[in-house]
Amino acid sequence: MKQLADPKFISPMVDFGFKTLFGTQRNINLLRRMLEMVFKCRIPDIQFINIEHQGDTEEDRKAFFDVACRSDDGREFIVEVQLKRQEFFPERAVYYSTFPITAQAPTGRWNYAFQPVYFLGLINFNMRHLEPVKADPTQFIHFFSLLDEQTGELMTDRLRYAFLEVGRFDKTLEECESFEEEFLYVMKNLPTFATRPDGLSDKFFDEFFEAAEFASLPAEDKKTYRKTMGTVNDYLNTIDYARKEGREEERVETARRMLADNAPAELIAKYTGLTVEQVMAL
């Protein structure tokens, strides 16, 4: 198999690339700035915490977070990056948020005043189930909390969820109007850049691009990244092929229905994209 050419910058939307940029102590400031940007809060300092969470018993399901951290004031943050489509990703976010809450419960009496838990998901696909309730189709960051369905009153401010639709972001750098949009633009397009784009407004990106340079990775990390991207490309190629096959089957089925209605072969070819010979063969 031909080896892919090494990129100038690593992809932040695959697990290894994301953890390199946001899950290491040397880049912890990037993680802090990202969380401040998303949740609009000041975080004086954060520390990484265990990403593996065990259930109440050894038989219970475990949870492994991509990144988990705690701020000095006790707030806990879970960060997940998801390249492949997952139908119940929001439900997974809710499930994951139960682990740090449960872990805070002391032995004996407890008044249930848990420290705030924040979940951030960066996804490479569309949250299509949100489409009917979107007020603005240009909104790529979504926030959820526990609210009264009638009044909108907040039930608790100690549980928040945010989702960034990186894969759906479609603006150019010139069209970006905020740091948040510039961040989404870079997260989506980083592995395609040959150099750092001009026009990025925040100093955050100075540190970000330096950390993202493939050439600066240790030799073992380069090897791991190449292997990771080979697997990702195999997956994407499989998905593209499945979509192509699905479109082909749809065209054939349409042609068969039109033939059953005695439509001319030339007309069927025009509307399905098949050749006249392919239509006649059906």
Quick one: 81 and 171 in the same domain? yes
| Same domain? 59 vs 96 | yes
Q: Tell me: pLDDT of 280 over 60.
A: yes
Cβ-Cβ contacts under 8 Å for 8 (sequence gap 6 or more): 193, 194, 195, 213, 214, 215
pLDDT digits (tens, 9 = 90+) for 45-81: 999 998 876 555 444 556 789 999 999 999 999 999 9
Axis crossing angle, helix 28-39 with helix 204-212, rounded to the nearest 10: 130
Q: What is the rounded CA–CA span in Å between residue 102 and residue 55?
A: 9
The answer to the question of residue 5 being in a domain is no
pLDDT, the chain, mean: 86
Which residues is 52 bridged to in the sheet?
64
* Domain span including residue 253: 219-282
Identify the three-state secondary structure at position 86. Answer: coil
Same domain for 26 and 164, yes or no, is: yes
- pLDDT for the residue numbered 1: 45
pTM for the model stands at 0.79
| Digit-coded pLDDT (tens) for 137-150 | 778 999 999 999 99
**What is the residue whose two structure tokens read 């070819």?**
269
- Among 217, 233, 263, identify where a domain stops: 217
